[in-house]
Amino acid sequence: MLKKPTPVTATTAVTADRGSMVFSDDFTDSGSGWTRESVADFSATFTKSGYVIVARGFVDHEIASPYSVPKQQLSVSMTATESTDSPSESGFGAGCDRGLSESTVSYDFVVMIDGTWEIRRHDTRPGAASASSLLKKGTSPKAPGAASITVELMCATLSDGVTTRLLTFVSGTDVADITDRVDDLPRLGWLGAFVVRGEGTRPTTVTATYFELRDLTG
């Protein structure tokens, strides 16, 4: 008998390991579909240590996952290290993206070198009130650095189709559980990305060693 999907609701108790895995990558295969772009403020390369991103400029660089099947409720998790001489406001994390072309909504959960974290909504829909909105911030139980940490974002759109519950974890510790409403949220489901935040004073180097996507409904 097929297992009946059990979507996350507004009150569901959720742990960091919820859901069924739909994609994972340990970055040992350079042909797995991740970008290898190199431009003025961003470069991505495969090395023996992992998938290495060098970022410059104050911007959240979203690196899209090769997995392209949208999910209404998605968990995005990445494990990485970051250069210890990185600027204090640089960092890395996980992102969920929804929509087509130039009309998208995305959520980024980023943990920074200074030990703080942020959840932001980036919005390119026509008429959006703000291109980038800070939804919540706080202090992380672990900060990026020479030791690996795992950063996880869950984007669970509820049954009304416009409210998304956002749950975040750092190395298994829950740090935030909030909801955000977008009345004309794109109908297509969420795709996963990992995020590297640059900062203008000098470059930061993030080495990713593991990435995972899970469908929260099954």
Contact 50, 131 (CB under 8 A): no
pLDDT tens profile 141-197? 999 999 999 999 999 999 999 999 999 999 999 999 999 999 989 988 999 999 999
pLDDT tens profile 105-136? 999 999 999 999 999 999 988 777 778 899 99
Q: Who contacts 206 (Cβ-Cβ below 8 Å, separation ≥6)?
A: 52, 53, 55, 80, 81, 82, 83, 92, 144, 196
Q: Which residue has the higher pLDDT, 26 or 59?
A: 26
Residue 76, pLDDT > 80, answer yes
pLDDT grade, residue 3 (50/70/90)? low
So what's the pLDDT on residue 113? 97
- Domains detected in the chain: 20-215 (2.60.120.200)
Which of 57, 107, 49 lies closest to 82 in space, CA to CA?
49
Residue 212, pLDDT > 60, answer yes
pLDDT tens profile 32-62? 999 998 888 899 999 999 999 999 888 899 9
Q: Count the Cβ atoms, other than its own, within 10 Å of residue 3.
A: 8
Residue 4, pLDDT > 90, answer no
So what's the pLDDT on residue 102? 73
**Is the pTM value of this prediction over 0.85?**
yes
In percent, how much of the chain has pLDDT > 70? 98
Strands, E, within 40-115: which ranges? 42-47, 50-55, 60-64, 73-82, 91-100, 103-112
So what's the pLDDT on residue 57? 86
pLDDT grade, residue 16 (50/70/90)? very high
pLDDT tens profile 99-108? 977 789 999 9
Residue 20, pLDDT > 90, answer yes
Residue 64, pLDDT > 90, answer yes
